[in-house]
Amino acid sequence: MRAFIGLFCMVAFGFSSKHGLSQTTVVIDVDTTMTVYQVFSLIKKQTGSTFLYDYEMFKGAPAIRLQKGRIRTGDLLDKIKGTGDFRYAYTEDKTVIFSRAKKKMPTAVTETTPDAQQLRVSGTITDPNGMPLPGVNIIVKDAKRGTMSDPDGKYDIRVNPSDVLVFSYVGFKKQEQAVNGQEVLDVVMEEDVSALDEVVVNAGYYTVKEKEKTGSISKITSQDIETQPVTNVLEAAIGRMPGVQITQNTGVPGGGFTVQIRGQNSLRTDDGANQPLYIVDGVPFSATFVGGALSNMIGGSNPLNSINPSDIESIEVLKDADATAIYGSRGANGVVLITTKQGYGKEGKTRIDIDIQSGIGKVADFLDMLNTEQYLEMRREAFANDKMEPTESNAPELLVWDQNRDNDWQKELIGGTAYITNLQTSVSGGNDQTSFRLGGGLYKETTVYPGDFGYKRISGSLNLNHWSKDRKFQMMFSINYVSGNNELSYNDVTRYAILLPPNTPEFLDDNNELVWPEAMTYNPYAFLRQKYNANTNNLVSNLQLNYQLIPDLYLKTRLGYTKLDQDEIYINPKSTFYPASTAQSSSQFNDTKIKTWIIEPQIEYIKDFGNSKLSILGGATFQEDLRKNSRFNATGFSNEALLESIEAASSITSPPNLSNDIQYRYSAVFGRVNYTLKDRYILNLTGRRDGSSRFGPGKRFANFGAVGAAWIFSNENFLQNFSFLSYGKLRGSYGTTGNDRIDDYGYLDSWGPSQYPYKGENGLEPTGLFNPDYVWERNVKLEGALELGFLNDRIFIQASYYHNRSDNQLLRMPLPSSVGFSSVQGNLPATVQNTGWEVEFNSTNIKDQDFTWASAFNLTVPRNKLIDFPGIENTSYANQYEVGKSLYVQKLYHFLGVDPETGTYQVEDLNEDGVLSPTFDYQGLKEIAQDFYGGFQNNFTYKNWQLNIFFQFVRQTGRNYLFGGFSPPGYRLNNQPDIVMDRWQNQGDVLDIQKFTQSTASEAGQSYYLNLRRSDAMISDASFIRLKNVSIHYMLPKTTAQKIGIRNCRFYIQGQNLLTFTNFLGMNPENQNLASLPPLRKILGGVQLSF
């Protein structure tokens, strides 16, 4: 990967008109005609640059006509290149190397006749992993001659026996090798950590060098993604970027994720209110769940599953005002930029890559539940405590079922093995004008549930990049298409796997037919036969056109189109109902279509003044989203085999008040001015004026902007003697963004079909009130950061502090009951504050020719607070939030433990009036939030072996098993965690678990529901450290691979979610949902081949 980055930089600097040298200008005094050699002399005289070339190469080349005036150096070099079949590349010291455009570089000759004693030196240049490096500059020290390595890393050059060769390549340290009469000289280049840090990062509308950015941008690359067996790009980023909190909601393939960037800004918790903006190859991408009303199990399919992780080159997350303000209202919650892989062309070669992997997934940890002996003891004690006698109807476990049966329902219902198969292939190639990449993939994953369930994804992608010969025009085109099928159970049976008594009889007979044991009204296998199927087709396309109008001035246009179609079916066969039920078979059909188009014309001016640089960008955005949704409930099927066909139903209805067609329009103008002085003082100004159709007339437009500044103090003269400090920068930003994440057309009166017909006819009834006066929610962001590099950036530290406030909250305003509506959309004067510290630490601990050890650490310490909400006591939010405390604080009774005398749960009577009341006795003492989170990565490389280890860690509180749907310990048909056996039994016992009860109406039953379940006892430590990823790779030696006819061959084993260390009282500390399947432990093996 580092070799590829270096090659990319060389090609980009060699051919991009934006290279520093090419941006300089040369003055032509009069109209004239010059030879190639005269042009070289002219450029050298005015710019100080040096040229390396074979003198014989340009003999006979046509003369070049030049007009009076100023001309860019890059244009002059292109004119020379156009006189024949030539190419050129830059080195880091203003040297330009010209050669013929063919596989093997001709050797440059001296200006004098070669010494008769000269010898020809040849060799191969490789990186530390043995990969050949094409395009390495080889120069004879103190002489004006040299050559370049060919695509296989080979070179040859005529030198004197006492000469010294200098090898240089972007991303690697410059090396000097004495010839000493040797005819073969192989060189292994050493990576230059500081040079690699100069790789540019994507900031959306522009790119910026990592060390010159004024905003907060975090990044992961394809190298990070490829080591992880993931189906969703978001899973690959968990724990790897500071300030980015990603939670996996379920272990079911195709399930959803929750993302928050630097905390919760909006009081609204509905879907999308706090979600970031997703941009895929420059095109906005909807990441909100689709079809969630049907898919109870996974909360709807996450559209980001429709992006193949193998097609992704990088993911950048924009966090502060400087980075996000140029996106205006769309960037209020941060921006996630996803860039897909591009083609690369070198000497017209075509490359084929194949990646095949296969593996398994299993639930890593189960809850420790009561076995049959313990469960029966609990039940008998519960009856004794309540002074009740068990009967066959209220205690089948004691009187009807097998007392010796001890079944582990967790292993039976969620303890299966998920089988994973992943095949990815790509073809890429091109030349110095055109490059392409064509990719395709097939991914299949089954589930851990009994039955034939699974997820399948077929993907295809095409990326095309073309330059005109004069390199003034560029076209970039990308299209990604994914077709996915998710076939699951409508219900997640995880909850039943936990709650079922261990001696419950089987739910299937010998013929695999459903049976209902005595006193059981539900059957988990029946739920597994109530199937849910979702077919998703997703298209993302992008076309970008760039043209250099005049020197330093560029026109750009970006056109994007996305289309997401999802068809869902949920079948509910009568055969899966409890036999006494009179309900009939039914099906639900849902069809969702989302289309987005966007046009963004832009103009950019880039000027290099020598000791300063100026960049000005202006543009506009025109976007439209069209969302169509249809939903039908169907009954009256003649048999269950027809349940998936809506035409076979005799009765079809549609839910009332369903919004079938929604149109969202958005437009904006934006601009950016960036000025850099002496490579140390940087100022960045961004601004945007947004217009959104989600607001009423006169309220649709708003202005947003930001200022960012940076001081690279390590470039100051007074620090040049501090050799240990290789880099130092202070940066800061301040600005505003907006938020329009609300329902479309909520400012209008809305009507829908009445549910109550009059004289056989359905009329209309109001569903929403008119309010055209609400305006944009506003986010004000402030950040300061310090970046330090030591020992040539072998140690790199970045620390930042952010302070964000969101006000003018877009919420449902409460209304008096006399109005007929409980609320109306509007602005409430509440202010939410998010602050925090982010720290990143990267180090290269050991680095030699055979062994490398590098580490990366990130830490986020977030804090959240509701700092203002005038009149909150008059709203329904008074029961949920408290001014001066975190939004995550839970207002509950304060738990006091078990009363030693009565054996029942006790909570604090705050106002001591003898009556427990949520209004007067709830307290906000505990919050469900993360105190800090982060990740720790270690990468080891030894010769052809590579080992990557990544730990995710979170310090947090969360809801424990008491919130998971359990009944009081001792209640019928309800198993319990084994910790309940440490319970109160006699007066004077001081324990945390009350006495057993088999009744919800008993004193113990009432204290469970009215005291414990409403208290902060449900909130406890949910911290965890998770061995998130381990990957082991072996690269076949280059010589061995070539012998069997391949370019590269790599074998690997990858593991995900391998170990979790936690004291959490539940199944999954990540999302604390007892009814949701936890993320699976996955182990896969595979091979990557390149031809």
Instruction: Say whether both 111 and 217 belong to one domain.
Output: no
Cα–Cα distance, 900 to 295 (Å, whole number): 46
Instruction: Say whether both 185 and 266 belong to one domain.
Output: no
Tell me, what's the pLDDT at 33? Answer: 74
Tell me, what's the pLDDT at 20? Answer: 52
Instruction: Say whether both 169 and 231 belong to one domain.
Output: no
Indicate the SS3 state at residue 103.
coil
Radius of gyration of the chain from its Cα atoms, rounded to whole angstroms:
34
Indicate the SS3 state at residue 610.
coil
Q: Given pLDDT bands bounded at 50, 70 and 90, which one contains residue 529? A: very high
Digit-coded pLDDT (tens) for 673-717 = 999 999 899 999 999 999 999 888 989 999 999 999 999 999 888
44 vs 987: which has the higher pLDDT = 987
Cα–Cα distance, 51 to 86 (Å, whole number): 14
Q: Judge whether 316 lies within some domain.
A: yes
- Domain closes at, from 340, 363, 384: 340
Q: Given pLDDT bands bounded at 50, 70 and 90, which one contains residue 317? A: very high
pLDDT at position 1012 over 80: yes
Instruction: Say whether both 253 and 164 belong to one domain.
Output: no
Question: Beta 119-126 vs 809-814: how paired, if at all?
Answer: unpaired
981, 374 Cβ separation under 8 angstroms:
yes
Tell me, what's the pLDDT at 193? Answer: 53
Q: Judge whether 445 lies within some domain.
A: no
Cα–Cα distance, 291 to 293 (Å, whole number): 5
Could you tell me the pTM of the whole model? 0.81
Q: Judge whether 902 lies within some domain.
A: no
Distance of CA 630 to the CA centre of its chain: 30
Report which of 34, 119, 123, 47 is spatially closest to residue 83, judged by C-alpha positions. 34
Which residue(s) pair with 507 in the sheet?
none
Report which of 1062, 857, 875, 877 is spatially closest to residue 939, judged by C-alpha positions. 857
Structural domain harbouring 113: 2-191
- Strand locations in 943-1008 (E): 945-959
* CB contact burial 230-258 (16+ within 10 A = b; e otherwise): bbbbbbbbbbbbbbbbbbbbbbbbbbbbb
- Best-predicted range by mean pLDDT among 246-255, 458-467, 955-964? 458-467
59, 89 Cβ separation under 8 angstroms:
no
Q: Judge whether 936 lies within some domain.
A: no
- Percent of the chain at pLDDT > 90 equals 55
Q: Given pLDDT bands bounded at 50, 70 and 90, which one contains residue 42? A: confident
- Domain closes at, from 136, 167, 191: 191
Backbone torsions φ then ψ of 56, nearest 5 degrees: -70, -15
Cα–Cα distance, 970 to 229 (Å, whole number): 42
Tokens encoding 901:
């005398």
Digit-coded pLDDT (tens) for 256-313 = 888 999 999 999 877 678 889 999 988 888 766 655 444 445 545 566 788 899 999 9
Q: Judge whether 68 lies within some domain.
A: yes
Instruction: Say whether both 126 and 38 belong to one domain.
Output: yes
Tokens encoding 741:
């994440």
Tell me, what's the pLDDT at 84? Answer: 76
User: Mean of the pLDDT values across residues 518-538?
Assistant: 91
Tell me, what's the pLDDT at 104? Answer: 41
Domain of residue 129, CATH code:
2.60.40.1120
Q: Judge whether 617 lies within some domain.
A: no
Q: Judge whether 131 lies within some domain.
A: yes
Instruction: Say whether both 299 and 232 belong to one domain.
Output: yes
Minimum mean pLDDT among 80-84, 369-373, 565-569, 872-876: which range?
80-84
Q: Judge whether 847 lies within some domain.
A: no
Instruction: Say whether both 74 and 179 belong to one domain.
Output: yes
Instruction: Say whether both 33 and 176 belong to one domain.
Output: yes
394 vs 58: which has the higher pLDDT = 394
Question: Beta 50-52 vs 895-898: how paired, if at all?
Answer: unpaired
Minimum mean pLDDT among 16-30, 403-417, 768-782: which range?
16-30
Cα–Cα distance, 337 to 284 (Å, whole number): 9
- 332 Ramachandran zone, left/alpha/beta (phi>0; psi -120 to 50): alpha
Domain of residue 288, CATH code:
2.170.130.10
Tokens encoding 509:
């007979």
> How many domains are contained in the chain?
2
CA angle, 374 then 375 then 378, to 5° = 85
- What residues contact 369, with CB distance under 8 A and at least 6 apart? 410, 498, 502, 975, 976, 977, 978
Instruction: Say whether both 211 and 301 belong to one domain.
Output: yes
Instruction: Say whether both 145 and 233 belong to one domain.
Output: no
Report which of 366, 293, 131, 465 is spatially closest to residue 975, judged by C-alpha positions. 366
pLDDT at position 1055 over 70: yes
- Best-predicted range by mean pLDDT among 4-18, 291-305, 755-769, 832-846? 832-846
DSSP assignment string, 793-835: TTEEEEEEEEEEEEESEEEEEE--GGGS-SEEEEEE--EEEEE
Tell me, what's the pLDDT at 345? Answer: 56
- Domain closes at, from 148, 164, 191: 191
- Tell me which amino acid residue 709 is: A
Instruction: Say whether both 52 and 175 belong to one domain.
Output: yes
Digit-coded pLDDT (tens) for 620-679 = 999 999 999 888 999 999 999 999 999 999 999 887 666 678 899 999 999 999 999 998
840 vs 92: which has the higher pLDDT = 840
Instruction: Say whether both 230 and 334 belong to one domain.
Output: yes
Question: Beta 86-90 vs 32-34: how paired, if at all?
Answer: unpaired
Q: Given pLDDT bands bounded at 50, 70 and 90, which one contains residue 23? A: low
pLDDT at position 6 over 70: no
- Number of residues that make up the chain: 1091
Q: What is the mean pLDDT of the chain?
A: 87
DSSP assignment string, 135-201: T-EEEETTSS-EEE--TTSEEEEEE-TT-EEEEEETTEEEEEEE-TT-SB--EEPPB-HHHHTT-EE
